[in-house]
Chains A and B, each alone.
Chain A
Amino acid sequence: MRATAAIAISVFRESVRDKVFYNLVLFSLLMIGSSFLIGQLTAGQDVKIIKDLGLAATSMFGLFLSVFIGIGLVSKEVERRSIYSLIAKPITRAQLVLGKYCGLALTLAANMAVMAVALYAVLAYLAWGVPESTRAVWDAPALDPALMKAMLLIFAELMLVIALALFFSTFSSPMLSAALTFGLYVVGHFSGDLRNFQQVVDSPVAAAFARGLYWVLPNLAQFDVKSDVVHGVSVPAGYMALTGVYAATYIAMLLAIASLVFSRRDFK
């Protein structure tokens, strides 16, 4: 456990050294710039648009961070040959994989926490001085605590994406890992189509195959509650809990396979 924590902290420090958090400056500039521009470009709906933009940017920035750092977690160690000194230490390869995963998850969590604060700050600025009659017609309040539900599910989704990237990076090149992770991310958002494939094909075999893929591939569409939250539609606690448990189970499965593949890999 201590070894895993030490590796996780080292990954976090490395991402700080690699200036990963520079993306936060970009995020802040995007949010502040948009809050000034949106009012000029559109009629009403500034708060809705800023919420949409903030949540989409959080998800997008997080996705790039998860994929591009996730694919390098193992491959960089191999490339730099530092893997030899690591595996010589009294730690298991499973601990190494888990530590790397937790380190990137910590980096992502820190990133998202700052983004959430920035988003709330911009929304507070937009809502400041707005008369009560105007606030009354918003779908949801500007500083809606329910935004955190969308943020939490984005975080859970990205944790799963990190696990995917790490899994692929244990046996393939960084480029291929990135392509496969992005590919699964896209497919994961089209899971509804796989589920209803029988509506567009006549072949029962193809429909059954698509349905099988629907259950096996990561279903990332369920993590997307951005639109509901922005429109003030309630996201039940039960939904949050089940989606969270799904993410945890899928991540555990991916990390178990990643550890197995990594522990069987020969570095001679």
Chain B
Amino acid sequence: MTSRSPAALVSTVVLAVVLLAAAVQVQAARERAYPPGEASEDTLYIRSGSALRRLSGAYNGLFADMYWIRAVQYYGGLKLQLDARGAQPGMLEPPAAIAADAFPALYPLLDITTTLDPRFNIAYRFGSVFLAEAYPRGANRPDLAIALLEKGLRESPDKWQYMQDIAFVYYWFQHDYLSASRWFQKAADVPGAPWFLRSLAATTLEQGGDRQSSKAMWTMILQTAEVDWMRKDAQRRLLQLQALDVIDALQRAVTDYSQRTGTRADWPALIGARVLRGVPLDPTGVPFTLSDGRVQLSRSSTLWPPPEEPSARGSATP
């Protein structure tokens, strides 16, 4: 059998496959005996975007993409973990310290991404949402969301979308309607910006914080969303607001029933009294809960937690 014969070829291939399979088995055995450590997602060996920009030379764009993918994976992975933790009873409300720093590496990752590629539009827009969202859906850091968007504006001063996003963060997460109105106005003043920004600026100033203006804002975001993810988020927000309308109506019925009968209301009692036809469902089809006379979204609903609705208008200045 010479080294060029077909038999030699077959035996070499078989030997290679067997050896590879053996190597895989040995590795698996080693991992069972000595489990490898968990990779730490929030380890950032280089925290300086400027240093990375220099190191990446002619490949800034590619490095920015890698950091963007890392930011998305980090956010998504951690959110899944938090969701899983939140699904356990008693774990939904996090300790304040955890809630304030639930995504510690998120801002550095986004900062590096946008330093490597200062025109990375979606990193500013998505990133600000990830940062501003309340725990457990986000980092609960609207201040950093605004800082990120302002960084984007320094690079592209005419980007009305970033101004609109800043206004949105002030409106929705900071409840600072005066600042929100000012940023909507700034965005509206940019040539080429859509007409509705001007009316949003006026509505926010006049009726900031009321549910109707929130609905108008989310409807506008739904109509102008650039990507599917933003569209779905806007749809979810609108469903939440719709659920709040239903909760208000149900709460009135519950209070009325309790006052009339002098008893604490529950769903079977209300159905029995023909106040309701059945257990009321939220827009996603999950039953509302009624405990201690209060109608609420179920914690198992995808609409949980409901948006915070301030009773008084904020007035902090930017």
A residues whose Cβ falls under 8 Å from a Cβ of B: 38, 41-45, 48-49, 52-53, 55-56, 59-60, 134, 137, 139, 186, 189-190, 220-221, 224, 226-227, 230-231, 233
Structural contact, B69 and A226, CB atoms closer than 8 A? no
By a CB distance below 8 angstroms, the chain B residues around A134 are 226-227
B48-68 near A? 1/0 per residue, CB < 8 Å: 000000100111111011001
Q: Which residue of B lies closest to A57 (CB)?
A: B62
Question: At the interface, yes or no: B122 with Cβ under 8 Å from chain A?
Answer: yes
The CA-CA distance from A158 to B175 in the complex, in Å, is: 54
Minimum distance in angstroms from A243 CB to a CB of chain B: 14
B residues whose Cβ falls under 8 Å from a Cβ of A: 54, 57-62, 64-65, 68-69, 72-73, 117, 119, 121-122, 126, 226-229
In addition to A44-B122, A190-B54, A221-B58, 11 A-B residue pairs with Cβ atoms within 8 Å of each other are A42-B69, A44-B229, A45-B68, A48-B65, A52-B61, A52-B64, A56-B59, A59-B58, A137-B226, A189-B58, A227-B117
12 A-B pairs within 8 Å (CB atoms) are namely: A38-B69, A41-B73, A43-B126, A44-B126, A45-B65, A52-B64, A56-B61, A190-B57, A220-B58, A226-B58, A227-B60, A227-B61
Structural contact, B57 and A186, CB atoms closer than 8 A? yes
Structural contact, B227 and A139, CB atoms closer than 8 A? no
Minimum distance in angstroms from B274 CB to a CB of chain A: 47
By a CB distance below 8 angstroms, the chain B residues around A43 are 72, 122, 126, 227, 229
By a CB distance below 8 angstroms, the chain B residues around A55 are 61
The CA-CA distance from A189 to B55 in the complex, in Å, is: 10
The CA-CA distance from A60 to B59 in the complex, in Å, is: 9
- The answer to whether residues A139 and B58 also contact, given A41-B73, A42-B72, A43-B126 and a CB cut-off of 8 A, is no
Structural contact, B60 and A49, CB atoms closer than 8 A? no
Minimum distance in angstroms from A157 CB to a CB of chain B: 9
Q: What 4 pairs between A and B have smallest CB-CB spacing?
A: A137-B226, A52-B61, A56-B62, A44-B227
By a CB distance below 8 angstroms, the chain A residues around B119 are 139, 227, 231, 233
The CA-CA distance from A230 to B229 in the complex, in Å, is: 22
Q: Which residue of A lies closest to B59 (CB)?
A: A56
Minimum distance in angstroms from A114 CB to a CB of chain B: 20
Minimum distance in angstroms from A140 CB to a CB of chain B: 11
- Choose one: A52, A137, A231; the contact of B65 (CB below 8 Å): A52
Minimum distance in angstroms from B217 CB to a CB of chain A: 19
By a CB distance below 8 angstroms, the chain B residues around A190 are 54, 57
Minimum distance in angstroms from B181 CB to a CB of chain A: 26
By a CB distance below 8 angstroms, the chain B residues around A186 are 57
- Choose one: B57, B227, B229; the contact of A137 (CB below 8 Å): B227
The CA-CA distance from A91 to B72 in the complex, in Å, is: 60
By a CB distance below 8 angstroms, the chain A residues around B59 are 56, 59-60
Structural contact, A139 and B72, CB atoms closer than 8 A? no
The CA-CA distance from A186 to B117 in the complex, in Å, is: 20
Which of B58, B59, B121, B227: most chain A Cβ within 10 A? B58
